[in-house]
Amino acid sequence: MLKSTWVLLFCLLAIGTSAVFIGCRSTDAPLPTVVSVDINRYAGTWYEIAALPQWFEKGCHCTTAQYTPKDGYLEVKNSCNEDSPTGELKIATAKAFPVEGSQNAKLQVQFFWPFKGDYWILALDKDYTHVLVGGPSREALWILARTPQLDETIYQELVTKAKTLGFDTTKIQRMDQSCTAN
């Protein structure tokens, strides 16, 4: 009886472990990025034009991201006005680490250790004036620009690109950028 109990427990453990590993295996289709990114040109302020909604951006207005090159990573400072264009300024800081071999087109953003999130540059204007950023899960997507407003034609081109890459573009929400300053 004791031997059969141990065999049963071992089998259940093996099945459970296999299920966990199978569930963790990525089934996302490949997501192409730009070929390379010049970190020094990418640095500076970016305005969020639109995004797939994220819990951490709920109630945000006038969201910006400031990237500053450091030794081996980018310092990230995200800010937004909470609940209205004149609301309290919220700031979150992080570090973005380039993924080896990606020519800086893939970053891992870390707001707190040990967790990192994918930040892949999917489309980037040659003059670094607008960018499409997402991750292989296709749960996160941002359209960013160097100015608070983006030409509608360019915006639609980026949305179309996101759709062809498998993102649910019906959920994209535009960001209010009516604040006078962040």
80 bridge partner residues: 90
For the chain, the first-to-last Cα distance in angstroms comes to 70
Nearest to 80 by CA among 70, 66, 69, 94: 66
**In the CATH hierarchy, which fold is given to the domain comprising 43-174?**
Lipocalin (2.40.128)
Cβ–Cβ under 8 Å, residues 52 and 171 = yes
Give residue 113's pLDDT.
Answer: 81
Average pLDDT of 8-37?
Answer: 54
Per residue in 82-133, pLDDT tens? 999 999 999 999 999 999 999 999 999 988 787 889 999 999 999 999 999 9
Q: Which two tokens stand for residue 131?
A: 């960018």
Asked if pLDDT for residue 1 goes beyond 90, the answer is no
Full-model pTM: 0.82
